[in-house]
Amino acid sequence: MQSCAPASTAGPTPARVPALPPRELFPALAETSDVYLDSASTTQKPLPVIEAVRRYHSSRTANAGRGTYPWAGGLTREIESVRERMAAFIHADADEVVFTGGATAGLNAVALSWGLANLADGDEILYSPRDHASNVYPWHHLRRLLRGFGREIVLTPYRVNAMGEADIDDLERRIGPRTRMITVGHLHHVFGALSTLEELRGRIDPAIALCFDCSQSGGHLPVDVRELEADFAVFSAHKMFGAPGTGVLYCRRRRHGELMPFLPGGNSGVSLGDSGLVAGAMPQLLEGGTHNLPGILALGAALEVFERVGLEAIGTHNRALTQRLITGLRPVPGLEFLPGPAYAPCETGYGIVSFTLDGISTGDLGFVLSELGFLVRTGTHCVPADDAPRDEDSVRVSTHIYNTFDEIDRFTECVATIAEEVS
């Protein structure tokens, strides 16, 4: 459900948000005049993150958890410190935090480690076909794998509403006695709408697992997995100032006994018993192989930046930018917003707005905007082509703390000028 800020008749102004880190904290932005408006795809990297990667490769490079000499021991403690920091960041315990290769890897881990072990013939997963492909394809893949074991599970799609949120009424109607999981995008990657499923609390069987894709919300607004009552939640480090190839999977402790290893090998916490593999303790159970060590250290540096800046400040800034963007684009002739904050009954927004413009394809519009120095995402934004309506083909604008009101104003003026030329 969208959380609403107090309604206001005046447009958002810079005075409403606190001072934020200077653009110079992000070297890639400091060296260009281009306006980066694609943070939902990946965020820019602050200097502490860049330095964390450089330091790992240039000073006392070692492997974690595999040696007693000081270099290895020190690195092991650093990695576990990042785990503890990430746990505090999402209000979890350290043994509930699993390091992965990214959010996609995390969702596939849920499918393979939990789904294969627990879903029986006739069980059901509820999902949105308008979510990111990484929160759609793993469940289809799981269904195909289970068919090989003689188990047929049911994948039931639910709708989103005009604001881009999970349609709670439709979702609740579809919950049945064999529903075992509901999976949802916490902050939608195209619509910029927040879905918490809070309306379902106390109204559904608590045994139903709740899985949240927090790829867009992590690092953009406070995420409390306890408050969400999440059983699983995934985070993408490169969308929260960190490096690509790193992510986090939150696994609620009550589910630990239901998990089986899906990457057995070195460091996976499993052992050989008389009847095969014996599962070990979490989180190592799901962490087979060598970690992306520089990526995890970079995540730790990113978390320090978030702690210094404050997620509340980031959320306030993105909401103000979102409202400024909507206000500037609304009068543009031929412009149509996709579901999202433009249709909310009150002032809200999380830094993502998508739209189309009559008279020009989204690809061409994106190219023209890039020639004018505005970098946006166009296309279907990884929404599965075989499941969702084609109106997801759009221009997506996504902001973060390094964007300014002046950039938003110049962008909306530019879109208005293009609209006049193509009308």
How many other C-beta atoms can be found within 10 angstroms of the C-beta atom of residue 403?
A: 24
Which phi and psi angles does 229 have, rounded to 5°? 55, 35
Encoding tokens for residue 29?
């932005």
Can you give the pLDDT at residue 31? Answer: 85
Can you give the pLDDT at residue 9? Answer: 36
Q: What is the sign of the dihedral through the CA atoms of 324, 325, 329 and 335?
A: negative
Q: Which residues contact 75 (CB under 8 A, 6 or more apart)?
A: 60, 62, 63, 64, 293
Cβ–Cβ under 8 Å, residues 164 and 188: yes
Query: Distance (Å, rounded) from C-alpha 215 to C-alpha 192?
Result: 12
| Residue keyed to tokens 């240039």 | 58
Give me the amino acid identity at 376. V
Domain ranges of the chain: 23-45+310-422, 49-306
Judging by beta carbons within 10 Å of its beta carbon (0-12, 13-18, 19+), is residue 4 exposed, middle or buried?
Answer: exposed
Cβ–Cβ under 8 Å, residues 375 and 38: yes
Can you give the pLDDT at residue 354? Answer: 97
Encoding tokens for residue 377?
């995402």
Q: Which residues contact 111 (CB under 8 A, 6 or more apart)?
A: 138, 139, 141, 142
Cβ–Cβ under 8 Å, residues 212 and 186: yes
Can you give the pLDDT at residue 8? Answer: 41
Can you give the pLDDT at residue 197? Answer: 96
User: Using alpha carbons only, what angle is made at residue 322 by residues 384 and 339, rounded to the nearest 5 degrees?
Assistant: 35
Q: Return the closest-CA partner of residue 284 out of 299, 258, 266.
A: 266
Q: Which of 211, 214, 382, 414 is catalytic?
A: 382
Query: Distance (Å, rounded) from C-alpha 59 to C-alpha 3?
Result: 45
Architecture category of domain 23-45+310-422 in CATH: Alpha-Beta Complex (3.90)
Report yes or no on whether pTM surpasses 0.85: yes
Ordered mean pLDDT values, 10 residues apiece, the chain (423 residues): 45 47 86 94 96 92 79 88 97 97 97 96 97 96 96 97 95 97 97 96 93 97 97 98 97 96 72 67 88 95 94 95 97 96 92 96 94 92 62 87 96 97 89
Can you give the pLDDT at residue 392? Answer: 61
Q: Return the closest-CA partner of residue 236 out of 366, 101, 139.
A: 101
Can you give the pLDDT at residue 268? Answer: 62
Query: Distance (Å, rounded) from C-alpha 165 to C-alpha 2?
Result: 8
The enclosing H or E element of 141 equals: helix 137-147
How many other C-beta atoms can be found within 10 angstroms of the C-beta atom of residue 391?
A: 15
Query: Distance (Å, rounded) from C-alpha 91 to C-alpha 113?
Result: 23
| Domain covering 49-306 assigned CATH 1.10.3720.10 in the classification | no
Can you give the pLDDT at residue 14? Answer: 40
Can you give the pLDDT at residue 66? Answer: 74
Burial pattern 132-144, b for ≥16 Cβ within 10 A else e, equals bbbbbbbbbebbe
Query: Distance (Å, rounded) from C-alpha 335 to C-alpha 333?
Result: 6
Query: Distance (Å, rounded) from C-alpha 349 to C-alpha 410?
Result: 20
Can you give the pLDDT at residue 295? Answer: 96
How is the beta sheet containing 377-379 ordered, strand by strand? Answer: 335-337, 352-357, 394-398, 377-379
**Catalytic residue flag (residue 346):** no
